[in-house]
Amino acid sequence: MKYIYQFARIFTGVLFIFSGLVKLNDPAGFSIKLNEYFDVFAQDVATQQDSVKITCSLNQKELINRTFTIYAFDKIKKVDWHINPTKNDSPPPYTQYEVFGQWGATSFISDEYIAPPVRIANFQLSINNQIIYNQKEFLDSSNSEIKDFAFDVDLSKYVKQESWLYGVFKGCKSYSLYFSLFFCALEVILGLAIILAWRMNLTLMIAALLILFFTFLTGYSAYFNKVTDCGCFGDFLKLKPWDSFKKDLVLCMMVIIMYLGLTHYKGLFDRKKGNQIMLFLTILTFLFGYICYIYLPVWDFLPYKKGNNIKSILKNVPAGQRATDSIVIKFVMQKGNDSMKVRSTEYAEVAAKGYVFKRQDRQVVVEGYKSPIHDFAIFDQVHGIDLTDTFLNSHKIQILFVMPFIETAYTESLNEVAEIALWAKKKGYQFYGISSASLNPAKVFTEKYKLPFTLFAADQKMLMTMARYNSTLYLFNEQTVINKWSARNLPNLSQLEKELSKK
């Protein structure tokens, strides 16, 4: 049995060190995964809110009947609705009218039309069958112009308060990077302590708690299919939830075996020297994680790593993989209280029996290949132009300055970035500044720091994948990554020239 005990110790220690180092190498990446968990938990404990029903009728014919969920952050909601003459292929009075509008940022439009004259329009909001807003308009039917109505609705008294637990999970998102550094470093430290057999009672107790915690996370993800990749080995190795859960169960078994064999473990160093060594290794571990965050990962497993060609990755489908999902479509048919799902070949036969189509269900049978880079896009908000193809088809040197969030971006080196942008323009290279900010905040940011370039828009998730530090500079030869730097460690112009000479 002593060999089994020693195997369990070495196996568990090595796995802890490997798993922890892979994640500690990219603490920002693991913090993104933790944010996913926090969002999932917050959603699962969130208070069930009521819904608002919007109805709108013209001449007492209902054209709009939509339901929108109230969210906990809703207070004053902006609503507008419009009566619009449409189908105007013949002059009035043959014009028909539709209704459209917006509930906050969500649009709605009628599927049906009504013929003139339109004399009465009625707009209602109701919650739990109780009318909270009612607007009736008597119209001049001789005027065929669009009619616009707008108002604010106070939802504060209809919003249910969230539980304290919801606030805890949402609040944890602000500290996800600190949690990431702590848990990843703890995993490495525990692995080192197990290998050195340092204070095994304490080490195994903490290791057991950590493994139980991660077993809960992976089990929860697997059972409810909430987070499809636990991030156990960062971007080095993607594990499906059930595989991650099985891995954690094996670790639980290893800890039990080590508890049974506690008497067989003797520390490699005496207590005082062991404490000194573990203190040194702990400081070294946290320092490694901090450096990897500030100056980008030492080992880059991301799809935007040095040497990768973005265009090739976007278009590449490995042999044996499907380019698209294999989907089975079924039609839900209803007759009275009876309903059934049928395939397209059975549709006509069932419809002939009086069943009416209600909705279409699409089920993915075989998932298609999902490229590691599938959301790459750059958009010019000022001119309303998609610049993605411009970037992907360019034959120039291209430089990307990536800021996922301008509110928390590192700004101390923006003067250097401005210098690089002017140098790129002089050389005839293409320079892109990209962020997830909307048009006005992006404009204010560039004006505040007097940047000689426009900030284009890109998907937040894409930017967080590209820039593990906020912000990051990329140097491309056409679509191939030559190198990238954290904003804390930007190259000077001579270093950029040297990089380009290697291409």
Phi-psi region of 104 (alpha: psi -120 to 50; beta: other; left: phi over 0): left
Q: What is the pLDDT of residue 119?
A: 83
456 to 21, 107, 294, 380: CA distances (angstroms): 35, 25, 24, 5
Q: What is the pLDDT of residue 359?
A: 75
Question: In angstroms, rounded to a whole number, what is the distance separating the alpha carbons of residues 483 and 295?
Answer: 13
Helices and strands of the chain, counted as H and E runs: 14, 18
495 to 175, 304, 438, 483, 491: CA distances (angstroms): 35, 21, 33, 11, 6
Q: What is the average pLDDT across 382-396?
A: 92
Beta bridge partners of 195: none
- Quick: pLDDT tens for 291-337: 999 999 999 989 999 999 999 988 887 776 666 666 777 888 887 77
Q: Which CATH superfamily is domain 379-502 in?
A: Glutaredoxin (3.40.30.10)
Question: In angstroms, rounded to a whole number, what is the distance separating the alpha carbons of residues 217 and 401?
Answer: 35
Radius of gyration (C-alpha) of the chain in whole angstroms: 30
Q: What is the average pLDDT across 184-200?
A: 94
Residue 151 pLDDT more than 90? no
Residue 237 per-residue DSSP state: B
- Quick: pLDDT tens for 415-470: 999 999 999 999 999 999 999 998 999 999 999 999 999 999 999 989 999 999 99
Give the three-state DSSP class for 250: helix
Question: In angstroms, rounded to a whole number, what is the distance separating the alpha carbons of residues 272 and 277?
Answer: 9
My answer on whether omega of the bond before 93 falls inside 30° of 0, hence cis, is yes
Give the three-state DSSP class for 390: helix
Quote the tokens at residue 202.
Answer: 């304490």
- Quick: pLDDT tens for 343-362: 877 888 888 888 888 777 77
Phi, psi of 341 (to 5 degrees): -105, 130
Nearest CA to 398 among 339, 328, 473, 460?
Answer: 473
Q: What is the pLDDT of residue 398?
A: 96
Q: What is the pLDDT of residue 238?
A: 73
The DSSP secondary structure of 450-483, one letter per residue, reads T-SS-EEE--HHHHHHH-SSSSEEEEEETTEEEE
Q: What is the average pLDDT across 194-220?
A: 91
Q: What is the pLDDT of residue 88?
A: 53
Q: What is the average pLDDT across 164-181?
A: 92
pLDDT band at 141 (very low <50, low <70, confident <90, very high): low
Q: What is the pLDDT of residue 223?
A: 81
Quote the tokens at residue 40.
Answer: 């999932």
Q: Domains of the chain: which residue ranges? A: 2-44+171-294, 51-158, 326-366, 379-502
- One-letter amino acid for residue 259 of the chain: Y
- Quick: pLDDT tens for 334-343: 877 787 888 8
Distance of CA 346 to the CA centre of its chain: 40
Q: What is the pLDDT of residue 352?
A: 83
